[in-house]
Structure 1
């Protein structure tokens, strides 16, 4: 058994007994504080041992490694069919981080998602007597790796009061994992648990405390074996609070929270709305949520008139099981400036606001001149504030215009005029009401406009998704499907998109679809490093690249276009042209790539169906050919064999006339076989596309004369006539093939008409065509047979005079030859009796000066 050792120091005390050959495998990575080692994943995959011993599953890899985390290395080893034995501390399980930290008062950054731990086939708990552990620590006998993590002091950890709860948690988590393994083995028990399933919903936010809420909800989902959903409500108000640096930190924290929820197995859902509690309540009612998990924000400042989100939400879902997760920490997003984000100044909006104020003042002066009351003038200013909120961006200009409107109204339209004083005490109430009404109307207008913007954005994205589905259905081939998908992604994201099609089970050259202004060289997105990432995604069928933990230094984010039987293509989205994709954009991208995968699979199925249909047709053709040859070749061969035997055994008995008759029969049967083989070869060459036409201007008279020299010997029993409109008729043709057409048509007329019948070959000019006809006065052809007469292997109910049935190849060959010349061929009745076969060829002019 071949065993690879991951970290030398961690396994220096291990024995190789029972494990076979142990060999170290490591790679050095330089760091500012020295040199230490990381696991060489590529070397392990190349060697492909039976078992890899790899310490510290939650370890963070050094820069330059393929993956950020060691557990991702382990996942790739498992996909390659390599068994892995590794180690893990209890505090390194993501969902237990908050609980362990509250006990130990020590936070760790190296953690793994719960689903990685849950996929383990076997778990062994390394348990020890707690008193001996404390004694070893007090005597300084602990291994340095067990103590030193940075410069932290672990003396407060090695006490029984903290070790006992840690041991209990380890026992519980081990028992839970063992129960999970048992459920996977016992399929009946697993099915019984699915009769009723809870649905747990956790609400996402940009607060660091939200991570504790997510972990708690994940543990609940695991205990109850329930569906787990993480909901994020995108509200316009969130985009206007805080400084620019603070907003960036919040967006980064929100992405971390979303990523954590995905790692813990949550399905991400995003809704839009102004009233967050109402949006959550509506989602709860529509999605069948049974348990709601909420967190209490640590920096919420309660006022007399303020109520928290929890206070607003609980009355909206009174029958819902709601769990409130408290947070006592002081960690949060630090403010880097004023509590409210300073609005950006806009010279254009300032001019607009001043013009609105001037316009309202002029109308007020006019109303005052007409003798209108002050209430009418106040209405004009309210209308101006409403109009200004519509044509400007941000609430600053509407608020300033509201205050300026009160000042201007007081200055121009209240006594004493042109002064900020007032004689009437009632005007003070008027000013307050006017200011409040102005601010309220501007706020409502801004809110409606923001909601309209969000609705338009959602409608636009939904329209792109629907348009993608429609265009993919209309795409004609795989290249068109990939092109339409890429252009829709560019339209949605405004970024450069690269597609790697799959051909012959490997990636083809990338196709770049630039988004917006192409500021960077395309080679940056299609270099060797980027192609290596695309090949890894194709091989492993997983996402990688920028904003992920695998190949995180890449320029693009790579997705596998997954089909039912593997990866159909690899898409890449340039991530250096803007912020990372938000959750809604990521969901749309996955949905569009899913539509692309379905369309590509459908195209593959259509191609396979065409191949199957072609094979079926070929099998039918082969069966018909074999069936016809087995019958039709036997008769002439038997006749030739019999006649030859008679001549060999009775040559002296037979007189000259009898021998001549036998020779003639042998000759006729041989000619019939030669024509049959010639027709078969000609049809096979035409169907395979190997026959090349040698088109030249030929005299129709010469071609007919050449054909008459090769017709069957039985032509002497019929009267064959030639009727040409002009002896100099010329047509553009391959004379060798057209001669074969005339021979087949005349031979058919001889074979299926009575002795002494008249067969006429005629040719005449008809516009730009030469019309050639072969008519007879035989019994004719039934109407039911005329439609199928030119099909291969169709012989109808006719039999030749000598009792042979043809293979039905002659007329099919004639049709193929004439169509290759660009002409038409057909059959009609001949008056008063018989049939007429006709075909057309392109006419050529005769140059009389040559």
Structure 2
């Protein structure tokens, strides 16, 4: 596909302007000829002056000067005696001279005013285009979207087709363009198209191409506008690529951090209970008959507690895997809060040490909508977390109540608490607050799993400080079962 020569394309609007000026003079000549007998040839010269002014206002100073010259010769040739010749009587010389001077002066002034107005309009349009493009580029972080916006801006500036190439990706504007033609354009094989490199900080980030339009709508500002658009677009693309590279680095660092945390967690939370189980079992096997019955009972209890701890940890890992894979199966049924409290009170009786674990229920028969097993596991994680961080002989309170259409269970501890700026992060995987560092610190999985389980049941998990001095309150909210 070939397009007209770019020089001819650029000159065509000017040629059309001069042809239009000649047409205006022709119309003025016909009108003057029709009215000459009635008005006299001296007065019909005003018709030519009016034609010059029309050409100046509509077409600019260049066509206006042409209209003045053509009007002078037409007036002399057709209306001044002797007619149909360029000769004139001596008494008509002043009239013709004044006519030419007035036509040139008025046409030139009106044309210059029109040209200045057009230049001001073009400059205003240039400023608007650059402002809108800059605002759009600043709000974008995807290089393809930036390329689309750049192609659109180039097409608007050139008033024709445009395209951007980023690597092997072609981004045309408008989109309905032949890819083979565009590949040829970027290879420099199509006349009438301009191709420029997109460069930012001395590095090429892509290519831009636009076809020379039939009208130079932005006038002398068009080349500058296009160059500024190219520079802005290249900088935005480079910024997007840098942001993407930085995000990939951060994602890699987070992945590595999570991997290290998981390995550390597995190493500690698997080896510690296994070591306790192994030590207790070995002691019972080798020295069991020599131990006092109370000692043997303590060793058996240690094995049981550490096995439960190990089982809970493995269960947390499995639940986290299921949550992230979307494979968690819900058995929706009414959740009796009182029954869950009873089971958890028995489970934690031997694990609370000297801490007080208090369960309170504002009303009997409080029932939530969800999965009883998953809710019990979520609440168990919260209670375990509260006991771990509450010093002995502190109190951990578990309270259930209703609020409108919600069933709310809150676990309040007397631990060190969490700073306000970290409250939103305690439900993140492997997040462990600096205020809770120490031997009691967990894996950072428990509350993350709580949030996932509660949200899977259509509920919400939140946390807040119990008091300015410390403590944490974790709230689990589920829809209340319809009565």
Superposition TM-score, scaled by structure 1 size: 0.44
| 1:293-308 → structure 2 map (5 Å cutoff) | none
**Aligned equivalent of 2:365:** 727
Aligned residue for 1:788, secondary structure, equals: helix
Q: CA deviation at 1:816?
A: 4.4
Q: CA deviation at 1:456?
A: 4.5
What CA distance in whole angstroms lies between the structure 1 residues aligned with 2:329 and 2:133? 46
The 8 Å contact of residues 357 and 384 in structure 1, kept in 2 or not, is answered as no
Is residue 445 of structure 1 aligned with residue 110 of structure 2?
Answer: yes
Q: CA deviation at 1:657?
A: 2.6
Is residue 737 of structure 1 aligned with residue 390 of structure 2?
Answer: no
Q: CA deviation at 1:483?
A: 1.2
What CA distance in whole angstroms lies between the structure 1 residues aligned with 2:269 and 2:148? 54
Is residue 678 of structure 1 aligned with residue 322 of structure 2?
Answer: no
Q: CA deviation at 1:661?
A: 1.1
**Aligned equivalent of 1:497:** 162
Listed one character per residue, the Cα deviations across residues 667-709 of structure 1 (whole Å, up to 9, x for unaligned) are 21222233234334544655x4545463835324255556556
**Aligned equivalent of 2:84:** none
Change (3 A) 1:494 1:726: farther
The 8 Å contact of residues 481 and 596 in structure 1, kept in 2 or not, is answered as yes
The 8 Å contact of residues 632 and 804 in structure 1, kept in 2 or not, is answered as no
What CA distance in whole angstroms lies between the structure 2 residues aligned with 1:808 and 1:672? 15
**Aligned equivalent of 2:422:** 788
Listed one character per residue, the Cα deviations across residues 517-550 of structure 1 (whole Å, up to 9, x for unaligned) are xxxxx56x224xx37637xx5xxxxx512129xx
Aligned residue for 1:727, secondary structure, equals: coil
The 8 Å contact of residues 729 and 765 in structure 1, kept in 2 or not, is answered as no
What CA distance in whole angstroms lies between the structure 2 residues aligned with 1:599 and 1:794? 38
The 8 Å contact of residues 465 and 588 in structure 1, kept in 2 or not, is answered as yes
The correspondence for 1:813, drawn from 449, 452, 472, is: 449
The 8 Å contact of residues 497 and 572 in structure 1, kept in 2 or not, is answered as yes
Change (3 A) 1:657 1:357: farther
Q: CA deviation at 1:750?
A: 3.9
| 1:394-409 → structure 2 map (5 Å cutoff) | 394-395=63-64, 396-399=66-69
Q: CA deviation at 1:653?
A: 0.8
The correspondence for 1:616, drawn from 253, 267, 273, is: 253
What CA distance in whole angstroms lies between the structure 2 residues aligned with 1:433 and 1:676? 105
The 8 Å contact of residues 349 and 392 in structure 1, kept in 2 or not, is answered as no
Change (3 A) 1:750 1:438: closer
The correspondence for 1:546, drawn from 190, 199, 213, is: 190
What CA distance in whole angstroms lies between the structure 1 residues aligned with 2:112 and 2:31? 23
Q: CA deviation at 1:741?
A: 1.8
Q: CA deviation at 1:762?
A: 3.2
**Aligned equivalent of 1:837:** 474
**Aligned equivalent of 2:279:** 642
Aligned residue for 1:807, secondary structure, equals: coil
Is residue 600 of structure 1 aligned with residue 237 of structure 2?
Answer: yes
The correspondence for 2:350, drawn from 675, 689, 713, is: 713
Change (3 A) 1:439 1:715: closer
**Aligned equivalent of 2:100:** 435
Change (3 A) 1:591 1:765: same
**Aligned equivalent of 1:133:** none
Change (3 A) 1:466 1:613: same
Q: CA deviation at 1:484?
A: 0.6
Q: CA deviation at 1:659?
A: 1.2
**Aligned equivalent of 1:478:** 143
The structure, 1 or 2, with the larger RCO (C-alpha pairs under 8 Å, 6+ apart) is: 2
| 1:512-591 → structure 2 map (5 Å cutoff) | 512-514=172-174, 522=176, 525-527=178-180, 530=181, 533=184, 543-547=187-191, 561=198, 568-573=205-210, 589=226
The correspondence for 1:698, drawn from 334, 345, 359, is: 334
What CA distance in whole angstroms lies between the structure 2 residues aligned with 1:459 and 1:471? 18
Q: CA deviation at 1:585?
A: 6.0
Q: CA deviation at 1:594?
A: 4.1
The 8 Å contact of residues 25 and 52 in structure 2, kept in 1 or not, is answered as no
| 1:205-216 → structure 2 map (5 Å cutoff) | none
What CA distance in whole angstroms lies between the structure 2 residues aligned with 1:643 and 1:493? 83
| 1:194-205 → structure 2 map (5 Å cutoff) | none
Q: Which moved more, 1:603-612 or 1:829-838?
A: 829-838
What number of residue pairs does the alignment pair up?
Answer: 452
Aligned residue for 1:773, secondary structure, equals: strand
Listed one character per residue, the Cα deviations across residues 705-732 of structure 1 (whole Å, up to 9, x for unaligned) are 565565463259745434153525333x
Q: CA deviation at 1:665?
A: 1.1
| 1:127-146 → structure 2 map (5 Å cutoff) | none
Q: CA deviation at 1:392?
A: 4.5
Q: CA deviation at 1:480?
A: 1.4
Listed one character per residue, the Cα deviations across residues 534-587 of structure 1 (whole Å, up to 9, x for unaligned) are 7xx5xxxxx512129xxxxxxx66555456797644545457x7599x998677
Change (3 A) 1:352 1:763: farther
What CA distance in whole angstroms lies between the structure 2 residues aligned with 1:734 and 1:389? 84
Q: Which has the higher helix share?
A: 2
Structure 1: which 5+ residue stretches go unaligned? 1-247, 256-340, 366-373, 412-420, 516-521, 538-542, 549-555
Q: CA deviation at 1:650?
A: 0.7
What CA distance in whole angstroms lies between the structure 2 residues aligned with 1:440 and 1:463? 34
Q: CA deviation at 1:608?
A: 1.0
The 8 Å contact of residues 361 and 400 in structure 2, kept in 1 or not, is answered as yes
Change (3 A) 1:443 1:788: closer
Change (3 A) 1:786 1:490: closer
The 8 Å contact of residues 624 and 793 in structure 1, kept in 2 or not, is answered as no
The 8 Å contact of residues 163 and 171 in structure 2, kept in 1 or not, is answered as yes
**Aligned equivalent of 1:20:** none
| 1:162-201 → structure 2 map (5 Å cutoff) | none
Q: CA RMSD in A?
A: 5.2
Q: Which moved more, 1:803-812 or 1:735-744?
A: 803-812
Q: CA deviation at 1:499?
A: 4.2
**Aligned equivalent of 1:147:** none
Q: CA deviation at 1:824?
A: 3.5
Change (3 A) 1:578 1:832: closer
Superposition TM-score, scaled by structure 2 size: 0.71
Q: CA deviation at 1:351?
A: 5.7
Aligned residue for 1:547, secondary structure, equals: coil
Is residue 827 of structure 1 aligned with residue 461 of structure 2?
Answer: no
Aligned residue for 1:827, secondary structure, equals: strand
Aligned residue for 1:699, secondary structure, equals: strand
Change (3 A) 1:357 1:603: farther
Change (3 A) 1:605 1:837: same
